[in-house]
Amino acid sequence: MLKDDTSIDFPTVLASTVHDMKNSLSLLMQSIEGLNQSLVEADPLSRKHLASAHYEAAKLNTGLVQLLSLYRAGIDSLPINIDECDIENVIDDLLATNESYLNHKNMILEVNQSADLVWYLDADLIGILLNDVLMNATRYCQKQIILSVYKENDYLVFKLEDDGPGYPESMLETNNIKMQQFDIAHGRTGLGLFFARLIAQAHSKAMVTGKISLENGGRLGGSVFTLSIP
């Protein structure tokens, strides 16, 4: 039976709409950043509102990117563009994106990075993943965050530690969560975690795939997120 040409391909329409919304949010974030830079230091209330607006816009943008990527992964596979990357540039972009919010919240972000790190990966996807993890850390931590980047056992490792209350036991127990197990009614669905694992596993080398891990403790006593790319 032939498909009616007048019928609506809703998944395609949704993907197109999400893409347009993502672009608009990116422009909004740039405008917010521009306003923040133009404000005088004597206007802390406006800076507070702009920092909050930037955070919420960035969170929405990350969610839309996740939704679009998951849609594409459902069609075929997660689109990935592996290239040689200077890891220092990836971290610099991450810091630049979150600098104003971190400064406004008076949070201390310590970066420990091995010198001259170069790796083959998708810089855009890894940047989105790290930004999502950092945003969550700023939401739940008290004051301090440590980001460490180094090589270990043929992996490039990104480790983010904070001084917050740590991951809830329910998140630590969902290490292999499936899409069907998301509990939307209880807020934190685990979609970000699923998306992070999707990105990690899309990076592979010699039959070895990337991986993520969650734990509590570390140097600051809070949550510890680790991304390892072969």
Listed residues 59, 79, 99: the one ending a domain = 79
Instruction: Concatenate the DSSP letters of all residues of 184-197 into one string.
Output: GGGS--SHHHHHHH
Report the candidate in 144, 84, 138, 91 with the shortest Cα–Cα distance to residue 114. 91
| Burial call 18-44: b when 16+ CB within 10 Å, e when fewer | beeebeebeebbeebbeebeeeeeeee
Structure tokens at 167: 């991951």
d(CA 224, CA 222): 7
Which amino acid is it at 131? N
- Of the residues 79, 111, 136, which one is the last residue of a structural domain? 79
Which pLDDT tens digit goes with each residue over 32-83?
Answer: 767 766 665 656 677 667 777 776 777 777 666 666 666 666 645 667 889 9
What per-residue confidence (pLDDT) applies to 182? 46
Domain of residue 171, residue span: 83-230
- Last-in-domain residue among 12, 45, 79: 79
Q: What is the pLDDT of residue 230?
A: 95
Dist. CA 59–CA 61, nearest whole Å: 5
The two structure tokens encoding residue 193: 């975690």
Task: Determine contact, residues 72/79, Cβ cutoff 8 Å.
Answer: yes
Each residue's pLDDT expressed in tens, for the chain with a length of 230 residues: 444 454 555 556 556 666 667 667 777 776 776 776 666 565 667 766 777 777 677 777 766 666 666 666 664 566 788 999 999 999 998 998 888 778 777 889 999 999 899 999 999 889 888 988 998 898 889 999 999 999 999 999 999 999 999 988 877 776 555 544 444 444 444 667 777 888 898 899 988 999 999 999 999 999 999 999 99
* The pLDDT of residue 189: 47
Q: Are residues 4 and 115 located together in one domain of the fold?
A: no
Provide the number of structural domains found in the chain. 2
Distance CA 188, CA 186 (A): 6
